Chain A
Amino acid sequence: MRITLHVWRQKNSTDTGGMKEYTVDGVSEDMSFLEMLDLVNENLINEGKEPIAFDHDCREGICGTCSLMINGIAHGPDAAITTCQLHMRSFKDGDAIHIEPWRSLAFPVVRDLVVDRSSFDRIVQAGGYVSINAGAAQDANCLPIPKPDSDTSMDAAACIGCGACVASCPNGSAMLFVSAKIGHLAHLPQGQPERYKRARDMVAQMDAEGFGACSNHYECEAVCPKEIPVKFIAKMNRDFFKATMCSES
């Protein structure tokens, strides 16, 4: 296949950046999308040009490192996968593909398609944990957890922190991510003692990082590679509301 790429190139966080066009031949449908970019980079290096920087690591859809807006859709056209799991058979010979970095004020561009998502880490540091030291735990089966609760917690915990939800939201909201973190712990007895403080502190940090608010577009749910449902946003809002009404907790 021959593919034409329009790729966002930006030397560093202060550079203005812009779209550049590349043509790549010899793309096979067995290639993953990132292997196609590897091929483009190999060609660029051979031509003495600078390769396109993009984030990636595990290349099996779990580490959450890869990103990319592909033709305007976070993680590309196929549902429920990350960019690294997208294969070129989803495209055809002669296609033009536009590739941009995650678009959000709270995810500044590092270089080309690489962004800084450390705002997510700071939100978790604000309260996304259970305060327990190593060695302080009781026997794991002392506290039975109803299977539906445990399963709901797992649905939320499946979040890989990739940031697709933010990138696809017209408001640049991180509420699906934050609500997944909060929902994971809120559905477990271990998460109860700090439940409301956690919701209040994490939401405060989310706002401080410059993420927007949710206005129910649900674009986040549509692109989430782990199919995390927006119901967790509603649950988070309930916890946050309770937390602000009972500020001593």
Chain B
Amino acid sequence: MAFNLDSKVPEGPLAEKWTNHRFNLKLVNPANKRKFKVIVVGSGLAGASAASSLGEMGYNVDCFCYQDSSRRAHSIAAQGGINAAKNYPNDGDSVRRLFYDTIKGGDYRAREANVYRLAEVANDIIDQCVAQGVPFAREYGGLLDNRSFGGAQVSRTFYARGQTGQQLLIGAYQSLSRQIAQGSVKMHVRSEMLDLVMVDGHARGIVVRNLVTGEITRHAADAVLICTGGYGNVFYLSTNAMGCNVTAALQAYKRGAGFANPCYTQIHPTCIPVASDHQSKLTLMSESLRNDGRVWVPKKKDDDRAPNDIPEEERDYYLERRYPSFGNLVPRDVASRAAKERCDAGHGVGTTKLAVYLDFADAISRLGEDVIRARYGNLFQMYEKITAENPYKVPMRIFPAVHYTMGGLWVDYNLQTTIPGLFCLGEANFSDHGANRLGASALMQGLADGYFVAPYTVSDYLANHGAMDADKKVTTSHAEFDKVEGEVRARIDKLMAIKGTKSVDHFHKRLGLIMWENCGMGRTAEGLKQALVEIPKVREEFWKDVRIPGDVAEFNPELEKASRVADFLDFAETMCHDALTREESCGGHYREEHQNEEGEAQRDDVNFVNASVWEYMGEGAAPELTKEELIFENVKLTTRSYK
């Protein structure tokens, strides 16, 4: 059964679509808003901003997060900044240009109307955040400072030292806290959504496990918003937080929501390399370092000399060599692939040979150590803390790492999934970044969805489909809640009953390795087919041999992990199917079969100008594909060249 994918993109010129659409959306009378309840799952930038905005409007909101406080969601870790087309520097920026850069950066695999709206509301986000007290960097005149970022020729990135994510999240958390105090939002921390409840085809609630007591609870509502972030942890090692997971999105997918472009994964080029088998996560070094650092490897294969002993003429500054016009500042996907290519060819450095140098010696001799310290001091300190090497004296060793997932639940222009009443916001949806996300655009999208899009579109849904009368409302005593809660309990009991011999991490690491090798930076039909053979084997073994100590009815981190890893094992094949059927290279998706004679990605604009939307067909069964054709009326598709 194929999906009927109606994108609901409004008629009219691009720049007027959102304004017209807002007028056409139905409203809910202020006195009636309190009769509706909305569930928000996740409390990062998308979730916290949506929950607080809906609360401010007068709805009753229940918000859930797995962390011990809503302030700790992983949006907090974003370093660089947030884009907006304020054009404060007077350097030629405009909404149209931000739209164009974002859609081009995404390799023309996103929906025009959604991206334009994102660019349009970005300015409102900056206003909103400043009014909340977000301490963005300022100039001496007291006005906001901007800096430049990859993929753009204007300075449009607003930032708060190296912790823009934390400051924006605290802004949203403060607003959320105000609504909690006023009683419009009820916050459930250390609570994990384990399934979605649907009644008559509409999302009407969720089933949740309390991570402290193990209690399973039911929550009914008139609409459900999934704001649970990305699934990068399917690779085990990533820059994601340890708890980031695909569970909520996967359960929605299993209940009938389409999952779009799951293979689009962003591999960030500048991360600290893996040191040993014990490594639990990878740490990002900000993209801004490439402004002053030069990337190189030894020209000689398997060169074991210390970097400073390798003379200049024996170094290969391969980004400058391959991309003379952009040099070290090529976009993330290009830089990552180039590093892999050199390491695969035997030029990698460090003990694992899976690293390249990022060298600041030139910048230090040109500008002095003090200038470099002022620009990057905290990053250099972080690097030294982790590696015990002094990057002022020795080049940094870096390697690409999984960072962000552009794929996610398919949503229409209203951010509604293929399930009526189920919305998806932020990184969890597929909406705005196409096949590659530009730096400083993730924060923008999370807050755009939560503050300025969902409040309108969710109201429209409630006005059309919400039951106002108490006796017509779905309650938690509905038979569907009995059924879904029963399934959740049965699954947990099944996990606990395995009593096998191997830890959850053992299986997670194995899955991660399969995914990294076959569905990572470079993908081949052969490798992906191999992964589709290996993943079910690991899953089968997991369900026979995983060992989860402790009990169900207590604080049990191993059980939490097991439940999430079981979901990654269910989800991974869909990513491989998607990568296998997308016979082209675009953005973060690089099929080695589809490259030109210079090794650059080759897009296929005849057959693949579409979003691939997958429908779950049962465990182990191949999912079914429906395509949403992407229509470009305002931009011309060109080849991204950085040479």
Q: Do A and B come together as binding partners?
A: yes
> What is the interface of chain A, defined by CB distance below 8 A to chain B?
11-12, 28-32, 34-35, 38-39, 41-42, 44-46, 48-51, 53, 55-65, 78, 81, 85, 87, 89, 110-111, 114, 116-118, 120-121, 124-126, 128-141, 143-147, 150, 153-154, 157-158, 160-161, 184-185, 188, 190-191
**Contact mask for chain B residues 136-149; partner A; CB cutoff 8 A; 1 contact, 0 none:** 11111111100000
A-B contact pairs, 23 of them (CB 8 A): A29-B388, A30-B275, A38-B505, A45-B549, A46-B503, A48-B547, A51-B557, A57-B67, A57-B241, A59-B280, A60-B283, A81-B385, A118-B189, A124-B177, A132-B175, A133-B56, A137-B127, A137-B130, A154-B135, A157-B167, A158-B163, A161-B71, A190-B132
Interface pair B283/A126, CB less than 8 Å apart: no
- Which residues from A are CB-within-8-Å of B165? 62
Complex: A141 Cα to B547 Cα, angstroms: 57
Interface pair A184/B135, CB less than 8 Å apart: yes
> What is the interface of chain B, defined by CB distance below 8 A to chain A?
49, 52-53, 56, 67-72, 74, 76-77, 86, 88, 124, 126-133, 135-144, 160-161, 163, 165-167, 170, 173-175, 177-178, 180-181, 187, 189, 212, 239, 241-243, 275-276, 278-281, 283-284, 382, 385-386, 388, 451-452, 455, 501, 503, 505, 547, 549-550, 554-555, 557-558
Complex: A188 Cα to B142 Cα, angstroms: 11
Query: With contacts A117-B69, A121-B177 known, is A31 near B241, CB below 8 A?
Result: no
Q: From residue B238, how far is it (CB to closest CB) to chain A in Å?
A: 11
Complex: A72 Cα to B126 Cα, angstroms: 43
Interface pair B547/A45, CB less than 8 Å apart: yes
Interface pair B276/A31, CB less than 8 Å apart: yes
Query: With contacts A63-B74, A117-B68 known, is A153 near B135, CB below 8 A?
Result: yes
Q: From residue A155, how far is it (CB to closest CB) to chain B in Å?
A: 9
- Which residues from A are CB-within-8-Å of B69? 117-118, 120-121, 161
CB-nearest residue of chain B to A34: B280
CB-nearest residue of chain B to A153: B135
Interface pair A147/B549, CB less than 8 Å apart: no
Interface pair B127/A139, CB less than 8 Å apart: yes
Interface pair B130/A190, CB less than 8 Å apart: yes
Complex: A57 Cα to B564 Cα, angstroms: 14
Interface pair A51/B549, CB less than 8 Å apart: yes
Complex: A67 Cα to B52 Cα, angstroms: 28
- Which residues from A are CB-within-8-Å of B163? 62, 158
Interface pair A57/B174, CB less than 8 Å apart: no
Residue in A51, A64, A147, A185 whose beta carbon sits within 8 Å of that of B133 in the complex:
A185
CB-nearest residue of chain A to B274: A30
Query: With contacts A12-B555, A46-B503, A134-B128 known, is A57 near B242, CB below 8 A?
Result: yes
Interface pair A141/B143, CB less than 8 Å apart: yes
Complex: A62 Cα to B163 Cα, angstroms: 8
Q: From residue A24, how far is it (CB to closest CB) to chain B in Å?
A: 11
Residue in A57, A129, A145 whose beta carbon sits within 8 Å of that of B132 in the complex:
A129
Q: From residue A125, how far is it (CB to closest CB) to chain B in Å?
A: 4
Complex: A50 Cα to B554 Cα, angstroms: 12
Q: From residue B270, how far is it (CB to closest CB) to chain A in Å?
A: 14
CB-nearest residue of chain A to B160: A154
Minimum-distance CB pairs A-B, first 4? A144-B142, A129-B174, A137-B131, A137-B127
- Which residues from B are CB-within-8-Å of A89? 388
- Which residues from A are CB-within-8-Å of B284? 60
- Which residues from A are CB-within-8-Å of B142? 144-147, 150
Query: With contacts A12-B555, A30-B275, A154-B161 known, is A62 near B174, CB below 8 A?
Result: no
CB-nearest residue of chain B to A38: B280
Q: From residue B529, how far is it (CB to closest CB) to chain A in Å?
A: 32
- Which residues from B are CB-within-8-Å of A136? 131
Complex: A144 Cα to B145 Cα, angstroms: 11
Residue in B86, B126, B180, B558 whose beta carbon sits within 8 Å of that of A45 in the complex:
B558
Q: From residue B57, how far is it (CB to closest CB) to chain A in Å?
A: 8
